[in-house]
Structure 1
Amino acid sequence: MSDSRITDAFAKARDENRAAFVAYLCAGDPDMETSLEACRALIEAGIDVLELGVPFSDPLADGLTNQLAAQRALESGMTGEKVLELVRRVREFSEVPIVFYTYYNLVFAKGSEAYAKAAKAAGADALLTLDLPPEESAEHLAACEKHGLKTVYIVAPTTPDERLSMICQATTGFVYYVSRAGVTGEQAEMSEGIRERVATIKQHTDLPVVVGFGISNADHVRTVAQAADGVVVGSAIVNCIAENPDDRTAIMEALKAKMASLTEGGALGKNTG
């Protein structure tokens, strides 16, 4: 075992000859107690990494599904402090790695040092700060290193090769390749060239590379699992909440069914075709 839950999670998946499953939920959607139970349902379904979106009023990288999730969370009274409380409560029953998917406004308002310290103390493992480019990350990176938090940075299909080294150098947890330009959301078809792009990123880093944005069924998961170290699913999971926002039992049943459908037939396996 290493000193990093994230490192251990990817090592375990690698040992089992499969991709890691990274699941996204917006913290506090549709309310604190339901959100906690949704986290529990995903963990019990076998996810490897929990990506928690920190609700924000202007989530620029998110499509409609995740925008509405943030809106539901904020309207239910979710705050930055309550996100930390949610993490602490998850830590009462699970050691699953937790990554905050956040925006720099929220970090800056608290201060990089204070934000990183509070996140680590609550039990978070990494920060993915969507709109903070590596060129402007010195203070953020120093705070994360000081408090033992990993960093996650995004590579887009439009990222020029000359920036890959800089992005990978700023990353200490895993690199997140977004499979298409634009915002989050379910898609009928996967983007082309994922395998080639992941291979290019791997020329610049020994860290795991995960792929997300638009992954919504087992065929998508299977395709990405053959190319990447991890598969990120967000909107397809969040929609289980959006479709049943006032019925906690229905949400849990939908989440379990969705997880089963996403991973059916050993979709995460590395030798499935």
Structure 2
Amino acid sequence: MKRLSDSFTRLESEGRSGLACYFTAGDPDFSSCLALLRGLCAAGADLIELGLPFSDPVADGEVIQAAHRRALASGQTVARTLRLVQALRETDATTPVVLMGYLNPVFQYGESFFAEAAAAGADGLILVDLPPEHAEPWSRAADAAGLALIRMSAPTSSDERLMTILPGAKGFLYHVSLNGTTGAASCAPEEVGKALARIRAQSPQPIAVGFGIRSAEQVKALNGVAEIIVVGSHLVAKLAKEGNAAALAEVRLLAAPLRASSRLAKNEGAR
């Protein structure tokens, strides 16, 4: 988890939000995905979200569902995903990697998953379909391994529901910016700001916001609103249509307003 905390400290010192980029592990194959991941930090990604391929990704829209199918067809498994993280760590020791997926593959893998994920170099885990009421044994296993089990909130999360979600949040809170699946619609930054203000009234946890973010303009509008801004379906679609080079170029475009903000903050500090 140290990579996560170090990343948030750095972003705060630079006076900007960070960019998280989601891709599905093994899409379209292991070697291509590894090359993509190795290029992300240089392109401007501050955090990598790596999807665990699964046959029934119910929170995801058509774009990421297709990525899961491609990855599974190429032979990607949970074990191969951990090997992918391990291979990335051979060239990148600092960029946080958060695994994102569903409970079933982790359950099927067994109790050793958390320790093996941490040993491979993962920093956190988001299990989209794990409600906080059933999270305790999984949280204990993650804590023992030094892996942040990250919780999620949504626009429908009432203040009462947040009181259940937030106390067990580790690493950061992932806020889903809209009602619907990934890539289903565009988020409204002003509505996100209101939702995050409610959350911050109850918890000091850093917040990542994702679902429905697909343009540099949205990223710029959310800069400073959330600690981490997550782009997924938009990048996965770019990868599927045009390949690694186009996906990395899109990451550079999305990161540009955040990096400009960082330079401005440094210049102001120098004065």
TM-score by length of 2: 0.92
Find the residue that maps to 2:126 and give its secondary structure.
Answer: strand
1:165-214 C-alpha deviation (Å, 9 max, x unpaired): 22111211100111101100164563641111111111222221111111
1:190 maps to amino acid: A
Count of residue pairs brought into register by the alignment: 263
Alignment of 1:1-273 (within 5 A): 4-95=2-93, 96-111=95-110, 113-185=111-183, 187-188=185-186, 190=188, 192-244=190-242, 251-266=243-258, 269=261
Find the residue that maps to 2:6 and give its secondary structure.
Answer: helix
Q: Which protein has the bigger helix share?
A: 2
Q: Which moved more, 1:62-71 or 1:164-173?
A: 164-173
2:214 maps to amino acid: S
Q: Whole-Å Cα distance in 1 between the matches of residues 57 and 82 of structure 2?
A: 19
Q: 1:41 to 1:186 in 2, by over 3 A?
A: farther
1:16-48 C-alpha deviation (Å, 9 max, x unpaired): 000011110100000000000110121221211
Q: 1:178 to 1:117 in 2, by over 3 A?
A: same
1:17 and 1:269 in contact (8 A); partners too: yes
Q: Whole-Å Cα distance in 2 between the matches of residues 68 and 125 of structure 1?
A: 26
Q: Which moved more, 1:212-221 or 1:196-205?
A: 196-205
2:78 and 2:109 in contact (8 A); partners too: no
1:248 maps to what in 2?
none
Find the residue that maps to 2:196 and give its secondary structure.
Answer: helix
Q: Whole-Å Cα distance in 2 between the matches of residues 105 and 188 of structure 1?
A: 29
Q: Whole-Å Cα distance in 1 between the matches of residues 53 and 115 of structure 2?
A: 19
How far the C-alpha of 1:11 sits from its partner, in A, is: 1.0
| Percentage of identical aligned residues | 38
**CA-atom RMSD in angstroms:** 1.8
Residue ranges of structure 1 left out of the alignment (5+ in a row): 245-250
Q: 1:51 to 1:42 in 2, by over 3 A?
A: same
1:105 maps to amino acid: N
2:36 and 2:248 in contact (8 A); partners too: no
Q: Whole-Å Cα distance in 2 between the matches of residues 64 and 191 of structure 1?
A: 23
Q: Which moved more, 1:189-198 or 1:53-62?
A: 189-198
1:95-149 C-alpha deviation (Å, 9 max, x unpaired): 21110101011121123x3111111111111110100001101100000111110
1:188-246 C-alpha deviation (Å, 9 max, x unpaired): 563641111111111222221111111111111011113111100001111122103xx
TM-score by length of 1: 0.91
